[in-house]
Structure 1
Amino acid sequence: MTDLRVPERAPDPDPGPPRRRHDRAGKPSGGGLFRAVWRWHFFASFVVVPVLLVLAVTGLIYLFRFQLEPLLHPDLMKAEPTATQQIAQPYSAQLAAVQSAYPDATVVSLAEPREEGRSTVFSVVLADGEGRDVFVDPFAVEVLGSMNPDTTLSGTAVRLHADLMSGRVGDAVMELGACWAIVMAITGYYLFFRGRKARRRLARSGRPGARLRARHGVVGAVVGVGLLTLLVSGLPWTGFWGAKVQELATARGSSMWSTDHGGFSDPVSTLDESLPHSHVQDAPWAQHKSEVPRSEVPEPDAAGEVSVANVDTAVVVAEREGLRRPFTIALPSTDDGVFSVIGYAFDAPSDERTVHVDRYGGQVVSTYGYDDYPALAKVVAQGIGLHEGRSLGLWSFWGAALMCVGVVVSCVSGPLMWWRRRPRGKASIGAPRGRMPLRSTPALTVGIVVLGLLLPFFGISLLLALLVDQLVLRRVPALAGWFDRPAQA
């Protein structure tokens, strides 16, 4: 017998709030706006999801670098007292051991062990210009070995996190993704609060994928605030936004970086130039562009000799000045250079200070720290501390780690939701249909324009998307159908 029953249809995508064309005032209904915001959220994910996955995974690696790297390189990074030697030896003796092991290299800085049982790290530049980190057992004064910091797990993560190891192009891709991620977080909050009743109704009815959608919304709502904080605090690093903000700040007498007024006496270089590219030691972000002063070269005595201070003298002076340990010490690169002792104050940017010590008399040439920063540099320094999960101790550390995990969950569950509701057997991507009611909603238009001005990469890419929509998709029906382009209003 022939079955005359009507075949079952595949369930339609979650419609969100009930859709009505217009309300009594002739304005688009909330359901239409919901679908329009959902469409933006959907297409933003094509740019945002890959970028956020890279940022979240590499950010997790960076957060746990001090735990991961000693596990991966215990032969280099771990050093314990011996039965015959229980006291760490002077840094000058450790420096001599490095110079003996690498006679053709230039030793440019050292980083104190971060905790008991760790080696001292000296950064050197080899004759061919390659930078390496040399690890020294502070008890036995023995060189344990060296490695290129860029080749470590955390070093690779840092370079991917910054620019995908692709220079300006990679930096632009990351900045574009970060700008659209801010938009995606904002639209996500609208979808979460506007569609909460529909999600509960669909979950109770047992609609396929409803639980995943609800969980995606809850995770996104929790992660969103932290994600926005991480994104905004990371923008000063970007090549375009960061550079433009610095230009505007400089024109108004401020800066995202600090300027050491004591270092203006014919400076040798900036502080970041005094340190090699190393991932185990660094200057505070706000001090990278601060000037490094010179030492005054004294006249030789009757025997033609000049008294020279050593690195241990610089450490004693820095301790006396109240800098927080562990120190990073940039060594003099010229006869009139200085010892630049940096108290990074890892868990408190407000304690960041650097002392420049004369290499001859051992006196303080200049000292500079958080209290001397311009107001903007203070804000950025605190933001960087939050971004790196260190400003509030373990609270910010684990908070940043959980944010990274939440971002990964959102980036996986979002595409999975689409995969479950994608149209089958149809030349369509399955995007939500809806147009932003810009003409009838001036506040929305103003908000988008302001966001486009604050985030130029978002504004420029949005204009390009609108041009493609009008000049290409509108005129090519096959493409319009594949992208689920809404019909003209």
Structure 2
Amino acid sequence: MSEVQRAAPAAGLFRAFWRWHFYASFLVIPVVLILAVTGLIYLFRFQLEPVLHADLMKVEQPTGLVAQPYEAQLGAVRNALPDATVVSMTEPSGPDRSTVFSVSTPAGSRDVFVDPYEGKVLGSLDPDTTLSGAAILLHGELMAGRWGDYVIEIAACWAIVMALTGYYLFFRGRVARARRRAAGAAGAVLRSRHGRTGAVLGAGLLFLIVSGLPWTGFWGAKTQELATQQGTSFWSQDPGALSNPSSTLDESLPHSHTVPWGLGKSQVPRSNPADRAKSIATVDTAVEVGVRNGLRRPMTIALPADDEGVYSAIGYAFEDPGKERTLHVDQYGGRVVSTYGYSDYPALAKVVAQGIALHEGRRLGTVNFWLTTVFCLGVVFMCVSGPLMWWRRRPKGKALGAPRGRLPLRATPALAVLVVALALFLPLFGITLLAALILDQLLLRRLPTLRTWFNVAR
């Protein structure tokens, strides 16, 4: 360890925040880098997937031909896959796109693509194995189930610490950075770019973290329980369907990405088999009912699972959650059993729905799309430039090169209150912070080799 490092003061907020910023990066950078890259893939899914699977997703509209009825296309799917259960149908997103049927097979879920003009099955895909499907699984749980979800949530909590400490370092260190740039110091330009980029991205990062927390398995689940106890919810609870519900939309369409967040937990009512004498509704009936009632297109129609099921017509409100709406259509006679949409959401669910639309880069059209793209690229730059700065200044010998500092909590009660409040608001942050402090006290400070390696202030 150099004399400069040995002489570096341990007290003071700047070095303490720099140290926490440094150590938080070991957890945050790998996870945030994955989230940024997979977020970009998901953002461009409508451009990427039709190119990667053009033989399934793209069709040519023959001159003079109109699309076959959806019921006829459904029949083609059932003939091609007699052992599969058709779960839903999604209308083509344009005249050159295929109709998509989601089916359940003994081997798992698949998306089946049908040429709407010729009514023939083009093939099928496992939605979780496509590029965007894999990106979604990585983005949500690192393909590691519940534990992957916890890792992402912990990293998100510490990303808040990185953003807050980063802002402090940016503003407090601006004079020193300018002096180093003027002197032509090694790495000064990269450090300035890292700081300026972080200052622009920090607020957006905080927003994305907060808007993504409702998805998490620990914080999201626990706060939803608290919200329910207070008579509200993160998502909708359709009171019109509670008389005899069979499932929720999420349960009806377990692998679908066309169910709006706010409607996912809404209850699905039942049809009455005693009404068989009436005319039998079809997928086309459900689409027509949806059109008459002003649902946005392309619609997704969830098919009845049994004799008591209903057709659930889901309006495609991609850019405006305020137009999210679902109609449940009786399979006997085609009457609307229940209607539920954004206007019926509790206030908290409305806020969450709008936040998630912004999070996914779709709320404000192309502006939101390109801002999110630039943001993700900026996050990738931050994830690369941070380790590169450390690599350039790392010391030679048996030391990690961590900044030396100790939080002056006794001298700054407001900081102590902020840390405790953050730990209570984000329990996984509090648990991991406590674990880090215990590790610091029991091992790092007591073992000379570790104390030297981690540059621990006594």
- Structure 1 length normalisation: TM-score? 0.91
**2:307 paired with 1:335:** yes
Cα deviation for residue 113 of structure 1 reads 1.4
Larger Rg: 1
Q: 1:382 aligns with which of 354, 365, 389?
A: 354
What is the aligned partner in structure 1 of residue 31 from structure 2? 51
Distance change >3 Å, CA 47–CA 95, structure 1 → 2? same
**Selected match of 2:363 from 387, 391, 408:** 391
Q: 2:413 aligns with which of 442, 447, 470?
A: 442
| 1:140 lines up with 2:111 in the alignment | no
* Cα drift, residue 365 of structure 1: 0.4
Shift of 1:115: 2.3
Task: Select which of 76, 88, 94 maps to 1:115.
Answer: 94
Contact 1:265 1:293 in 2 (8 A): yes
1:211 aligns with 2:183: no
Structure 1 moving runs of 4+ over 4 Å: 9-13
Give deviations 1:98-145, integer Å, cap 9, x for gaps: 11111111111011112231111000011x151000001111111100
Within 5 A, what are the aligned runs for 1:298-377? 298-299=274-275, 301=277, 306-377=278-349
Give yes or no for contact 1:259–1:291 (8 Å, CA) kept in 2. yes
- Mark the runs of 5 or more structure 1 residues left unpaired by the alignment: 1-8, 22-27
**Residues 167-178 of structure 1 mapped to structure 2, 5 A cutoff:** 167-178=145-156
Determine which structure has the larger helix proportion and give its number: 2
d(CA) in 1 for partners of 2:50, 2:100: 13
User: 1:197 & 1:457 partners in 2: Cα distance?
Assistant: 36
Could you say which structure has the greater relative contact order, defined with CA pairs below 8 angstroms and 6 or more residues apart?
2
Counterpart of 2:443 in structure 1: which amino acid? V
Rounded Cα–Cα distance in structure 2 between residues aligned with 1:439 and 1:198: 27
In the other structure, the counterpart of 2:238 is 260
Residues 61 and 95, structure 2, Cα contact 8 Å, conserved in 1: no
State the partner residue of 2:13. 33
State the alpha-carbon separation in 1 of the partners of residues 95 and 201 from structure 2. Answer: 35
Residue 408 of structure 1 pairs with residue 387 of structure 2: no
Find the counterpart in structure 1 of residue 262 from structure 2: 286
For residues 463 and 115 of structure 1, the distance between their equivalents in structure 2, rounded to whole angstroms, comes to 53
1:234–1:299 distance in 2 versus 1, CA, 3 Å: closer
* SS of corresponding position for 2:100: strand
Structure 1 residue 297 corresponds to structure 2 residue 273? yes
Secondary structure, aligned partner of 1:151? coil
How far off is 1:90 after superposition? 1.4
Which residue identity does 1:282 align to in structure 2?
Answer: T
Q: State the partner residue of 1:125.
A: 104
- Corresponding letter in the other structure for 1:468: L
For 1:436, the aligned partner's letter is L
Structure 1 contact 338–356 (Cα < 8 Å) conserved? yes
State the alpha-carbon separation in 2 of the partners of residues 174 and 408 from structure 1.
17
Shift of 1:262: 1.1
- Name whichever of 318-327 and 206-215 sits farther off: 318-327
Q: Deviations over 1:279-325 (max 9, x none)?
A: xx421111111110011234555xxxx52011111111111111111
2:427 is aligned with 1:456: yes
Residue identity in the other structure for 1:372? D
Matches within 5 A, 1:71-220: 71-85=51-65, 87-126=66-105, 128-220=106-198
CA 1:179–1:291 in 2, change beyond 3 Å: closer, same or farther? Answer: same
Instruction: Give the secondary structure class of the aligned counterpart of 1:136.
Output: strand
Give the drift of 1:457. 1.1
Shift of 1:11: 11
Q: Which amino acid aligns with 2:418?
A: G
Aligned length in residues: 457
C-alpha displacement of 1:33: 1.2
Contact 1:354–1:369 (CA under 8 A) maintained in structure 2: yes
Identity %: 65
Aligned residue runs from structure 1 range 407-426, under 5 A: 407-424=379-396, 426=397
Q: Counterparts of 2:387 and 2:36 in 1: how far apart (Å)? A: 16
Once residues 277 and 420 of structure 1 are traced to their aligned partners in structure 2, the CA distance between those partners, rounded to angstroms, is: 45
Shift in Å, 1:406: 0.6
Q: CA deviation at 1:225?
A: 1.2
Q: Which amino acid aligns with 2:149?
A: D
- Where structure 2 has 5 or more consecutive residues not aligned to the other structure, the ranges are none
- 1:274 is displaced (CA, Å) by 1.0
Match of 2:453 in 1: 482
Q: Hey, what's the Cα distance between the residues in 2 that align with 1:300 and 1:405?
A: 56
1:436-477 CA distances to partner (integer Å, 9 max, x unpaired)? Answer: 110010111101111111111111111111111111111101
Greater displacement, 306-315 / 291-300: 291-300
Decide which moves more: 404-413 or 97-106: 97-106
SS at match of 2:273: coil
Find the residue that maps to 2:237 and give its secondary structure: coil
Instruction: Give 3-state SS (helix, strand or coil) of 2:87's partner.
Output: strand
Structure 1 position 10, deviation (Å): 8.8
- CA shift at 1:212, angstroms? 0.4
Distance 1:229 1:299 in 2: 50
Structure 2 counterpart of 1:70, from 40, 50, 71:
50
RMSD of aligned residue pairs (Cα, Å): 1.7
Secondary structure of 1:437's aligned partner? coil
Query: 1:291 corresponds to which letter in structure 2?
Result: Q
Q: How far did 1:12 drift?
A: 6.0
CA contact (8 A) 1:358 1:364 kept: yes
Measure the CA separation in 1 of the matches of 2:430 and 2:245.
40
Deviations 1:334-364 (A, max 9, x none): 1121110001300001110000011111111
TM-score (norm 2): 0.97
Code of the residue aligned with 1:223 in structure 2: it is L
Amino acid of the structure 1 residue aligned with 2:19 = R
